[in-house]
Chain A
Amino acid sequence: MVGNPKIQVRDVSYRYGQVEALNQITLDVPEHTVTVFFGPAGGGKTTLLRLINRLNDRVDNTSMEGQILIDGEDIYAPGVHVPGLRRRVGMVFALPLPLPGTVRENVLYGPALAGIRDRNRLDELLQTSLEQAALWDEVKDRLDQPASSFSGGQQQRLCIARSLSLEPEILLLDEPTSGLDPISTAKVEHSLLELKKQYTIILVPHSVQQGARVADFAAFFLMGELIESGPGADLFTQAQDQRTEDYITGRFG
């Protein structure tokens, strides 16, 4: 039942200065699934996400060991084109962070940087990515208004659309609904279920419940260790490790 591993994490350890953020993580992320990284704050989930699209490259005083492979290729190998990698691996952050400018400018920022100039192609990308993010109907008449004039929930879906406009293969979502109301959250979760048909998704959920709702696969992180991983249906109902069990049932965290 496990599809092809899209992302393979191999013995990855990571340090910020002397502080160990990840300790020998090995993990496969199957294609076209939602994989959930969950666990208490400071467990290394965000760090691992940032490593998968090399967003930590310019953070000073850090060290990494191990390998991360996408489609079998080491993304930290010399000669890897990092902007190209980031176009394949989209990222959505915990807070909605629209760039200055309009809805249109936000969504088309990535394609513009990638050198896409064709008007029809850009319009098409604009519409499909906003539709995929379940935002098109709300903004289609206001595409040239400043992104900052929309609500937090709309802004966050705009940020998802902004990542989708690059037609990535992988989408990394770091607590994308932590600032959203329940209705917006439901909309985002619903769109994730649609998106996984085309994309491989890693989600850091903002609650255990959200993780349980959407996870095909799940991995529990605690203080830089991967405690256990497996199909979501199993992990959230019958965890093997006592610490996972305790966290899921709310005994700590």
Chain B
Amino acid sequence: MSQQLAQKLGFAFLGLMSLVVIVPILLVVGAIIYAGFPALSWEFLSAMPREGMRAGGIFPAIVGTLLLTLGTGLVAIPVGVGAAVYLSEYARDNLFTRAIRLAIVNLASIPSVVYGLFGLGLFVLLLQFGTSILAGSLTLAIMTLPVIISTSEEALRAVPMEYRTVSESLGGTHWQGIRRIVLPQALPGIITGVILGLLRAAGETAPILFTVAAFFLPRLPQSAFDQTMALPYHLYVISTQVPGMPLSIQHGTALVLLAFVLSMNLVATLIRSYFRRRREW
């Protein structure tokens, strides 16, 4: 076989493999848009569910997912970014920090249902938050932390070491260098990590199953200690637990969840490319 032919075959194979990655995404998104779009209406987005969720809208589930994502962010962003700054800028390389890193890697590989059970045990029962937005947000936050910490740490480490030295040589304290130079330069990477982490939280079902999600609650939550409906769990419920559920509502709900997640993803991409163009190294 000639080298050129081998090369062509190689490229063809690689191209095919790339296609295999893209096709399922296009099929899933396409099918959901095709089947779900007709169900979308102002009422569907803004009304309470009626008739055992077989009619009406999914407003409380949308609000619930927004609130949970927000709550997750409020907890996970400061803790995660703080931990990343500590690991990247302050911690020395010793047994303790290696243990922390190992823990983070392992946290990332724990199945989400285990987080759910952990949240049930710690927040719902032991700390007596009950099944509540608070308990759900905390559970999702713990699940999100590894993503936020590792992407943020990577972004911080990518900022050239010399900037820190220069800042110090100009009479800056360690922290001044971090705050004025390192953090702003690492921000796009940190934001991307945060959004990717929150995305995962927004779409998860298992962690909220025992900690916050309501099967059917046709009103908006009143406080952080209230239960709420949420899109992923609602989708699970209407797909498997309610007989005689119109298909269009299932597809419509899936479409709303997908649109929420994909639009956050798009925002992350835009932020990243905007900052990358402005970055000076």
Interface residues of A (CB under 8 A from B): 53, 55, 58, 60, 83-84, 86-87, 90-91, 93, 95, 97, 99-100, 109-110, 113-114, 146-148, 159, 162-163, 166
Query: Smallest Cβ distance from B95 to chain A, in angstroms?
Result: 14
C-alpha spacing A162/B172, complex, angstroms? 13
| Contact yes or no, B184 A100, CB < 8 A | yes
| Contact yes or no, A100 B170, CB < 8 A | no
| Contact yes or no, A166 B170, CB < 8 A | yes
Listed A/B pairs (9) with beta-carbon separation below 8 Å: A53-B169, A55-B168, A60-B93, A90-B169, A93-B169, A99-B181, A100-B181, A113-B172, A163-B170
Question: Chain A residues with Cβ under 8 A from B281's Cβ?
Answer: 100
Question: Chain B residues with Cβ under 8 A from A163's Cβ?
Answer: 169-170
| Contact yes or no, A86 B165, CB < 8 A | no
* Chain B stretch 156-184: residues in CB contact (< 8 A) with chain A: 162-163, 165-174, 176, 180-181, 184
- Interface flag for B185 (CB, 8 Å): yes
Nearest chain A residue, comparing its CB with the CB of B173: A83
Question: Chain A residues with Cβ under 8 A from B171's Cβ?
Answer: 83-84, 86-87, 110, 113-114, 166
- Interface flag for B51 (CB, 8 Å): no
Residue of B93, B167, B170, B184 ringed by the most chain A CB atoms within 10 A = B170
Question: Chain A residues with Cβ under 8 A from B172's Cβ?
Answer: 83, 109-110, 113
C-alpha spacing A60/B168, complex, angstroms? 16
Question: Chain A residues with Cβ under 8 A from B166's Cβ?
Answer: 93, 97, 99, 159
Number of B residues contacting the other chain (C-beta, 8 Å)? 22
Interface residues of B (CB under 8 A from A): 92-93, 162-163, 165-174, 176, 180-181, 184-185, 279-281
Among B163, B184, B280, point to the contact of A148 (Cβ < 8 A): B280
C-alpha spacing A100/B166, complex, angstroms? 11
6 more A-B residue pairs beyond the given contacts A83-B172, A86-B170, A100-B281, with a C-beta to C-beta distance below 8 A: A83-B171, A91-B169, A93-B169, A100-B181, A110-B170, A113-B173
Nearest chain B residue, comparing its CB with the CB of A86: B171
C-alpha spacing A87/B168, complex, angstroms? 10
Query: Smallest Cβ distance from B217 to chain A, in angstroms?
Result: 49
Question: Chain B residues with Cβ under 8 A from A100's Cβ?
Answer: 163, 181, 184-185, 279-281
Query: Smallest Cβ distance from B156 to chain A, in angstroms?
Result: 14
Question: Chain B residues with Cβ under 8 A from A99's Cβ?
Answer: 163, 166-167, 181
